[in-house]
Structure 1
Amino acid sequence: MSAATVERRNARTAAVMALIVAAMIGLAFASPPLYRAFCSATGFGGTPLRADKAPGAIVGQVGVRFDANTHPGLPWRFEPEQTTVHVAPGAQTKIFYRAQNLSARTITAQAAFNVSPDQVGKYFKKIQCFCFSEQTLKPGESVDMPVLFFVDPAIKKDPDTKDIDEITLSYTFYPVETVNAAR
């Protein structure tokens, strides 16, 4: 084998390896949004699904418990206005969370959410929710934020979820870094 042939093979191998490394780096950066899209589409990991409207109530009840948390670095009081409701599957329900800025400065935050137990995520459907947008509160300001949801009646037909009688919807607010916050 000639030196030129060996050199071409080495160059081709180096190019293939560089492409593999580039693909792996690209996949690493694409993984979080792809995972979020997967969870949003399937309800995996307790991720509630979005809906446009509720289908209508059926006979039966499911308890829904509301949980509220804040990141340790966020000086807000955040709590549900009611801690539990009992809903008929398929019935549209509206509840409120209240947030109050306890600091002397304007703060922007955004909520992350989940539903437990995990297997009910695909049956808990939110129509309207404050978690899809940033919330900015001035010093001492408080705001009531609605959550409009329903529990899909199919929850009672699924062998993995038919005996679940309580769902927990949990939110955690995190501070959002903004350009103005650095000034």
Structure 2
Amino acid sequence: MASDLTRRLNGRMFGKLAVIAVMMFGFGYALVPMYKKICELTGINVLSAKDGLTDGIGNTQVDMSRTITVEFDANSHGPWRFRPTVSSLKVHPGEMTQVTYEVVNTQARSVDAQAIPSYAPQQAAAYFKKVECFCFKQQTLLPNEAKQMPVVFFIDPKLPRDVTTITLSYTFFEVAAPGKKAV
């Protein structure tokens, strides 16, 4: 009698553990889309599918009737100093603008690094058109080297009128070169 009760209890426990294991797998599977959605909602590290060269820049008309404040931010994960040379600019939609970020490698060794952009508000990413950007490719910094890295951009005049400020933030971090391990 006790062995039947033990078997039944063991069977229930096995069932509960199996359900928990399936739920854990499902949560792990859903984690990536959930993370992307949370980042999209909060505007953190949002990468635009069009974060590359703009398709056919064409003849953009400058909208002189409004001004957008573009704020520049820099975050670094590595042994260097990284900052924009200006903290903000006022631009007209459609106006081609260039800003510069400065990076200084403070180490006695070369490093390969990459910049990842993010935008706030997130919806502005679709209207922020970069023509030239240091974020398009990895940067190699020689020991104690200082670099001025340009970003040439314009704001699409189709940007919704309620957006008056855009923050462009770059996170600069070391990447491992092929066959090397990042420190």
TM-score bracket for this pair, using the shorter chain length = 0.5 to 0.7
Equivalent in 61, 80, 100 of residue 67 of structure 2 = 61
- Residue 178 of structure 1 and its aligned partner are, at CA, apart by 1.4
Tell me the number of residue pairs that the alignment of Structure 1 and Structure 2 aligns: 136
TM-score of the aligned structures, taking structure 2 as reference length: 0.67
Q: Residue 94 in 1 paired to residue 98 in 2?
A: yes
Shift of 1:130: 0.6
Shift of the alpha carbon at 1:56?
Answer: 2.9
Is there any run of 5+ residues in structure 1 with no aligned partner, and where?
Answer: 1-27, 40-44, 156-160
Give distance in 1, aligned partners of 2:175 and 2:155. 30
| Structure 1 residues 66-145: aligned runs within 5 Å | 66-71=72-77, 74-145=78-149
* Residue type at the aligned position of 1:174: F
Q: Which blocks of at least 5 consecutive residues in structure 2 are unaligned?
A: 1-28, 41-45
Contact 1:46 1:122 in 2 (8 A): no
Q: Which has the higher helix share?
A: 1
Partner Cα distance (2:104, 2:139) in 1? 11
CA distance in 1, matches of 2:111, 2:142: 7
CA distance in 1, matches of 2:169, 2:149: 14
Instruction: Give 1:68's aligned amino acid.
Output: A
Residue deviations 1:21-68 (CA, integer Å, cap 9, x gap): xxxxxxx8xx99xx9xxx9xxxxx462744243613112100000010
Paired residue type of 1:134: Q
Alpha-carbon distance change, 63 to 167 in structure 1, aligned in 2, over 3 angstroms: same
Q: Distance in 1 between matches of 2:62 and 2:108?
A: 45
Q: What amino acid is aligned across from residue 157 of structure 2 in structure 1?
A: P
Q: Distance in 2 between matches of 1:48 and 1:82?
A: 26
Residue deviations 1:150-176, cap 9 Å, x none?
Answer: 000001xxxxx3112110001001111
Question: Is contact 1:130–1:147 with CA below 8 Å preserved after alignment?
Answer: yes
Secondary structure of the 2:158 match is helix
How far apart are the structure 1 equivalents of 2:76 and 2:151? 18
Q: Structure 1, residues 131-161: CA drift from partner, whole Å, max 9, x if none?
A: 1111111111010000000000001xxxxx3
Distance 2:72 2:120 in 1: 11
Find the residue that maps to 1:154 and give its secondary structure: coil
Distance 1:111 1:138 in 2: 17
Q: 2: CA distance between counterparts of 1:90 and 1:112?
A: 24
Over the residues paired in the alignment, what is the CA RMSD in angstroms?
Answer: 2.3
- Which runs of structure 2 are paired with 1:139-158 in the superposition (5 Å)? 139-155=143-159
Give the conservation status (yes or no) of the 8 Å contact 1:114–1:170.
Answer: yes
Separation in 1 of the partners of 2:47 and 2:68? 16
Give the Cα separation in 2 of the matches to 1:180 and 1:168.
Answer: 36
